[in-house]
Structure 1
């Protein structure tokens, strides 16, 4: 039994979806055993040497009236 060419993309999509679902389900079931993932701390210090960005050119104004250029 061969898969027709018109259905190959749907079979591939379904296969990938089932594999990803299986991995996600397995990790969900193992989370109580392994514990939650450690949270990454935010940056502890702010870079004071950062310079402000200078905008060159006219400021952006959205064209709310497409007929008027």
Structure 2
């Protein structure tokens, strides 16, 4: 238990230190802007079905 606690404490210290220095080391990411165009949800996209329709097997002995 002592070893587990020591390793956990060391990992928390390293992660905390890196989290504090992260904004300083890296550059600020580009600001993304969402697209303002309206979405046409009234027209569904065509879906292609390949093969036979799914039929559940209600009798496990039958294959």
Which structure is larger by alpha-carbon Rg, 1 or 2? 2
TM-score normalised according to structure 1 size: 0.38
Higher relative helix content: 1
TM-score normalised according to structure 2 size: 0.41
